[in-house]
């Protein structure tokens, strides 16, 4: 996945940088919230149930409030698109890890480590270019 951002107009929300559409942002946030609610780790079966709820339009964005004006909001998102546009890119970027042995998905800090690695690669490139000029 390609992340394009403008250093002068960097949004406060990481999801606005990672995902292309508002609906993808919402679904990505819902997935991480679901994972945090389950201790930061869920099984493949639970992930499938989450994707099915999204597909069937049963996933709730905003729970019903106390006031009559606060309505429960549900969201629908295609199951295949969930795996292709949400889960797979999040795994590829290191936001979520899949443990093949335990068959679980886990929230990961690998994204941060990869961003640091990319920054170091850029510094090495700058250093290499400055040495070539001498």
- CA pair distance 70, 109, nearest whole angstrom: 35
User: What CATH number does the domain located at 14-108 have?
Assistant: 1.10.10
- CA pair distance 52, 35, nearest whole angstrom: 16
CB 93 within 8 A of CB 107: no
Domain boundaries, the chain: 14-108
Model-level pTM? 0.85
Q: pLDDT tens digit string along 78-118?
A: 999 999 999 999 999 999 999 999 999 999 999 999 999 99
- CA pair distance 25, 73, nearest whole angstrom: 16
- CA pair distance 52, 59, nearest whole angstrom: 9
- 61 SS3 class: strand
Mean pLDDT score across all residues of the chain = 90
């Amino acid at each position: 996945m390609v992340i394009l951002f403008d250093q002068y107009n960097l949004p406060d929300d990481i999801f606005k940088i990672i995902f292309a559409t508002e609906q993808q942002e919402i679904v990505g946030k819902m997935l991480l919230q679901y994972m945090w609610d389950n201790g930061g780790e869920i099984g493949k079966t639970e992930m499938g149930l989450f994707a099915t709820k999204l597909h069937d339009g049963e996933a709730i964005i905003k729970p019903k409030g106390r006031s009559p004006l606060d309505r429960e909001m549900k969201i629908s998102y295609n199951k295949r698109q969930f795996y292709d546009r949400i889960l797979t890119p999040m795994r590829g970027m290191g936001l979520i890890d899949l443990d093949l042995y335990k068959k679980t998905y886990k929230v990961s800090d690998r994204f941060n480590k990869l961003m640091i690695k990319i920054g170091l690669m850029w510094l090495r490139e700058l250093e290499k270019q400055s040495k070539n000029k001498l």
